[in-house]
Amino acid sequence: MSLRLDRYVAALLFVTVVWGATFPILKRATASLSGVEISALRFLIAAACMAPWVLKVPRHTWRDGAVMGALVLASYVGQAFGLEFISSNRSAFLTSLNVLMVPMLAWAWGARPDRTVFVAAALACLGIGLMSYDGGAHLLADTTTVLGALAYAAYVLLLSGRSRKHVPIQLAAAQMFCMALMGGVWMLATGGWDRVQTLPERLDTELMAGLLYLGVVASAAMFFLQAVAQRYVNANQSAVIYAMEPVFAALFAWVWLSETMTQRAVLGAVIVVGAVVLSELKPAPAAP
């Protein structure tokens, strides 16, 4: 067996590094904004970043971008809503279930993922469970978070299957604009214009900085990087790589916030890293 770690796998690992910093920001934002508001604002910011490319997006890219955008928006709103009622650790654990959902959905849709993928996905979920599971169940919040994870699993599969048919920057632009539009309509429908008018008084400097990070870096830049990398990394492997997100989140909390990591959490992180390595192992080429 040999380990394959190419630039596209490295790119997806970098995506998880960037996403690892979003959980504390989202938790802080839910004190002032609803999950729909957070998602709508971050994607409005991301869409503004993608404005130079949007006029060149062809019709078939708009079609796929709209479907992918709807899945991602549902995922992010479900996660942000759940964070209003459960801890960021529990949210990270429930969100990580998409690692198992991807190969299961692929199997349900007729694909036959390698058994190694299922083993790696199960190990990743076990590791994240050791790191972050802390009880505190909340039926509605848990359900929306799990449904968000399911939507994101479907997105990962669709992105891997369709990304080669599009120019990456155009696909990212289409997704951002569709998510911004749908998020804005959703925000108005659920909160009304009166609540939208209160946004300026609810947005302080720290919250605006967090939204800029979510929109510019974690959304616009990382969705483009995903669209490039998942042309060459299949959905099952991508899902296992994305399991590194809570590992990096815990590391950032340890370094920046001086939060402690228990022995159980360290063991969980090691298991997740091992799962990622396992997912990238390929049979050694036969001798000529």
Overall number of domains in the chain: 1
Q: Virtual CA dihedral for 98, 236, 23, 11, nearest 10 degrees? A: -170
Return mean pLDDT, the chain. Answer: 82
Least confident window among 102-116, 195-209, 269-283: 269-283
What is the C-alpha separation between 60 and 171, in angstroms, rounded? Answer: 10
% the chain with pLDDT above 90: 23
Tell whether the torsion through CA atoms of 225, 53, 21 and 128 is positive or negative: negative
pTM: 0.78
What's at 61, amino acid-wise? T
Residue 185 lies in a domain: yes
Greatest Cα-to-Cα distance within the chain, rounded to the nearest angstrom? 72
Residue 60 lies in a domain: yes
H-helix or E-strand spanning residue 281: strand 281-282
pLDDT tens for 201-252 read 888 888 999 999 999 999 999 989 988 888 888 887 888 888 787 777 777 7
Residue 287 lies in a domain: no
Domain encompassing residue 54: 2-281
Please check the confidence at residue 1 and state whether its pLDDT lies above 60: no
What is the C-alpha separation between 184 and 158, in angstroms, rounded? Answer: 24
What is the C-alpha separation between 144 and 136, in angstroms, rounded? Answer: 15
Please check the confidence at residue 3 and state whether its pLDDT lies above 60: no
What mean pLDDT comes out for the span 83-90? 74
Cβ distance 198 to 130 under 8 Å? no
Least confident window among 5-14, 221-230, 261-270: 261-270
Residue 71 lies in a domain: yes
pLDDT tens for 118-175 read 787 788 778 877 776 666 667 788 888 889 989 998 998 898 888 889 999 999 999 9
What is the C-alpha separation between 80 and 44, in angstroms, rounded? Answer: 16
Distant-in-sequence, close-in-space partners of 199: CB < 8 Å, separation ≥ 6:
37, 41
Residue 133 lies in a domain: yes
Residue 286 lies in a domain: no
Residue 237 lies in a domain: yes
What mean pLDDT comes out for the span 53-74? 91
Residue 210 lies in a domain: yes
What mean pLDDT comes out for the span 244-268? 73
